[in-house]
A and B are shown apart, each in its own frame.
Chain A
Amino acid sequence: MHRETQTQPPFDESLLSGYLDGELTQGEAQRVRVHLEDHPESRRLFEEMAAMRDAALSTRLPVPDDDQWDPAPRGPFSRLSRRMGWLLVLVWGAATAVLAVRGWWTADAPWTVKAVGVLVVGGPLLLLLSVLADRLKVMKTDRYRRVQK
């Protein structure tokens, strides 16, 4: 006899998982107990899920030895100095680029030399842009794009 169907909405089967994990309220747990008494199929499913969970919980995966791990984590001073270092490198890089472009523009050199300069810089720049364009295209179909960074 299916007692709960006469007075309550249809049984939500996912409550079985909540019951197994001890995540239900007292009322919900009571409803599951009654349901399990009346439904052998649900009882079988519940017992199989419990067996799977017990086997999973008792699995002990090996952890690499201490000597396989990187050295100890960096402290606050080390992190700050690393960030400052990167900032200074970026500022230096930007200043150098600006000076180089300015020097190229104002240099008293023949246009042929300047054209060679454009080709030398333009090649890698085009490659970089094509890689960026490809990455943007891939991002649209990326199956993990919803994962928060």
Chain B
Amino acid sequence: MDAGALAMTIGQVGGADLVVLAKDGDRDALDELARQCRPKAYGFALQLLRNREDALDVTQDALVSFFDHLDRFDESRQIDPWLLSIVRNQAYDFLRRRKVRAAESLEELLERGAPLPVGQRPAALDRVERDELRSRLWRALGRLSQEHREILVLRDYQDLSYLEIADVLGIPKGTVMSRLHRARKALRELLIDDPEASHDDAP
């Protein structure tokens, strides 16, 4: 099989199988796993640290740790909770050790981002309203406590189930729902009190 065909095959292999191949030292599987892990890990780090450069530093370290300990990973588990728990630990370690850079606004972050695919672009007015709400959410998230921010990001941005969130945070599944609800109410309060929002905007 030539390299291109092998890469295509590897690209179609999902989570657990990919990990098995990567554990065996398959170069293409390692590359593909790294490619799949980067956006999730970086997105989570960015939400926790609020700065691109800090997030990139932490994600790089987290991925090194992820691949260094890959041989200990149990393939019957989901990859995302394991990866995100490593990112979380690295991010908090980073916050403990280093002075973080200034938080960036969502507009600054999206300046260099790729536009949404045509099929996903909402109508102009919807888009303005949605963009406004996203910006307000981003600002409000930055003012939340770490405990509330991380659980909201895991659910509403990373789309993890309650069981997966419990796995990442190391808390019982029953605690996830109550903590998440408190976080959502706190976020709603911050949205209402957002000093930069126009006063006729409801959350």
Q: Is the interface of B mostly helix, strand, loop or mixed?
A: helix
Contact B114 A18 (CB under 8 A): no
Asked if B142 is at the interface of the complex by the 8 Å CB criterion, the answer is no
Asked if A79 is at the interface of the complex by the 8 Å CB criterion, the answer is yes
CB distance from A45 to the nearest CB of B (A): 8
Contact A62 B112 (CB under 8 A): yes
Q: Which of A53, A55, A62, A70 contacts B60 (CB 8 A)?
A: A70
Contact A48 B203 (CB under 8 A): yes
CB distance from A109 to the nearest CB of B (A): 42
CB-defined contacts of B162 to chain A, threshold 8 Å:
18, 21, 23
Q: How many residues of B contact A (CB 8 A)?
A: 62
Interface residues on A, range: 35 or more
Question: Which residues of chain A from 69 to 85 have any CB-CB distance to chain B below 8 Å in the complex?
Answer: 69-70, 72-77, 79
Asked if B78 is at the interface of the complex by the 8 Å CB criterion, the answer is no
Contact A144 B96 (CB under 8 A): yes
CB distance from B96 to the nearest CB of A (A): 5
Knowing A55-B137, A142-B96 touch, does A62 contact B181 (C-beta < 8 A)?
A: no
What are 14 sample pairs from A and B whose C-beta atoms fall under 8 A apart? A16-B181, A18-B177, A52-B156, A52-B191, A60-B113, A61-B42, A61-B43, A61-B113, A62-B110, A64-B56, A73-B67, A76-B71, A142-B96, A149-B89
